[in-house]
Structure 1
Amino acid sequence: MAEPGTPPVERSEQQPAATFEQAVEIGRTAPLGRGGRASRRHIEKAVRDKGLRIGKDLLERVKQALQAELDDAQADAA
């Protein structure tokens, strides 16, 4: 317990959370995973490397959106 008159220890500032749009934009720069598919792990690392937080639910939505873009691009190329 802190002694009387001792200021409380300040917590380090928490990183800001990424928005869906930010995470998708950053995720487009992430390397692809196995089989040329969108990778949650790579997307998460890319977002965190930009100094942003991302939750698992948002991460899954971003991965699905990016995979849909990859699938559309593949279908257009065929």
Structure 2
Amino acid sequence: MDSWMIVPNIKQNHYTVHGLQSGTRYIFLVKAINQAGSRNSETARLKTNSQPFKLDPKMAHKKLKISNDGLQM
């Protein structure tokens, strides 16, 4: 089912989307709104890898901290 995620009040020029499902197609569109008006980006399409990965804390450099879920460092 199609759904949109609206993220209000972003002040940076980047945003990380969490919780994407592996082997799924996504379409991203950014709409900037300010006092001057609004403007849409071009759409970006991507498909996540079908095989999820995890970072191996035993293989990581000793100064890197790996998250409990093994997906971030």
Interval containing the TM-score (normalised by the shorter chain): under 0.3
Larger gyration radius, structure 1 or structure 2: 1
- TM-score when normalising by structure 2: 0.25
Structure holding more strand per residue: 2
User: Which structure exhibits the higher relative contact order, with contacts defined as CA atoms closer than 8 Å and separated by 6 or more residues?
Assistant: 1
Structure holding more helix per residue: 1
